Amino acid sequence: MSCPAGLFYWRPTEVVAKDLIGKKLVRMIIMSGRAFRLAGTIVETEAYGYSDDRASHACMGPTARNRIMFGDVGRAYIYFTYGNHFCVNVSARSGTEAGAVLIRGIEPVEGVEMMKQFRPVSDAFSLTSGPGKLTQALKITSALNGTDMTDQKSELHIEFGSEPARVLATPRIGITRAIDKEWRFVDPSSPYVSRKIQIKAL
């Protein structure tokens, strides 16, 4: 889809989640005075809404933790979960007060060797095939919370790439509420999808 970056995120959250498949998540890192670029194609996302979505952090209204979901669109919403890893989202919404898209999986395309330093694993496909895995591999922490992901100069941003041949929808996973919403989107051809289950074509 071609439209200005800000307008891309100013649309229904589930539409943005679907259209993020095929885009590129980019992390810029400065180490020892050198700039490094880590990037991966987004292959799995989940949309989270507002008061009508009981699985969303925003369902009970704004808090210090979820304030990014209520603010400007295109901003990084990063939180620590289960006491051991970070998750990265991008705020997106239209016609509602809050919304964000969780990035669940990416397929590494740039800086793979550095990703392996941050997340040393023997199985290449477990490097970034999950929300906690990809944040570790890209060294994404809460220090980047609120980053403007529409700014191509940001340490963390999203670039518009190629569209996949197919995007498939499924119910979201790892939640116990609002499990009927088919707001998880995947590129079925990628081995970096976090969990393979029965899915239907859009």
Q: What is the 3-state secondary structure (H, E, C) of the chain?
A: CCCCHHHHHCCCHHHHHHHCCCCEEEEEEEECCEEEEEEEEEEEEEEECCCCCCCCCCCCCCCCCCHHHHCCCCEEEEEEECCCEEEEEEECCCCCCCCEEEEEEEEEEECHHHHHHHCCCCCHHHCCCCHHHHHHHCCCCHHHCCCECCCCCCCEEEECCCCCCCCEEECCCCCCCCCCCCCEEECCCCCCCCCCCCCEEC
Which pLDDT does position 82 carry in this prediction?
75
Which pLDDT does position 5 carry in this prediction?
64
d(CA 24, CA 11): 19
Of residues 95, 94, 174, 191, the one with CA closest to residue 131:
174
Query: pTM score, two decimals?
Result: 0.93
Phi, psi of 113, rounded to the nearest 5 degrees = -65, -35
Which pLDDT does position 32 carry in this prediction?
87
**In this structure, are residues 37 and 59 in contact, taking their beta carbons and an 8 Å threshold?**
no
d(CA 197, CA 93): 27
Q: Please state the domain extents for the chain.
A: 5-194
Q: Does domain 5-194 have CATH number 3.40.50.300?
A: no
The number of beta carbons lying within 10 Å of the beta carbon of residue 34 is: 7
**In this structure, are residues 119 and 66 in contact, taking their beta carbons and an 8 Å threshold?**
no
d(CA 40, CA 131): 13
Taking the alpha carbons at both ends of the chain, their separation in whole angstroms is 16
Which pLDDT does position 1 carry in this prediction?
39
d(CA 112, CA 84): 23
Which pLDDT does position 83 carry in this prediction?
73
Which pLDDT does position 23 carry in this prediction?
97
Per-residue pLDDT of the chain in tens (202 residues, 90 and over written 9): 345 567 999 999 999 999 999 999 999 999 888 999 999 999 999 999 999 999 999 999 999 999 999 999 999 999 998 778 999 999 999 989 999 999 999 999 999 999 999 999 999 899 999 999 999 999 999 999 999 999 999 999 999 878 888 999 999 998 888 888 999 999 999 999 997 654 454 5
Which pLDDT does position 197 carry in this prediction?
54
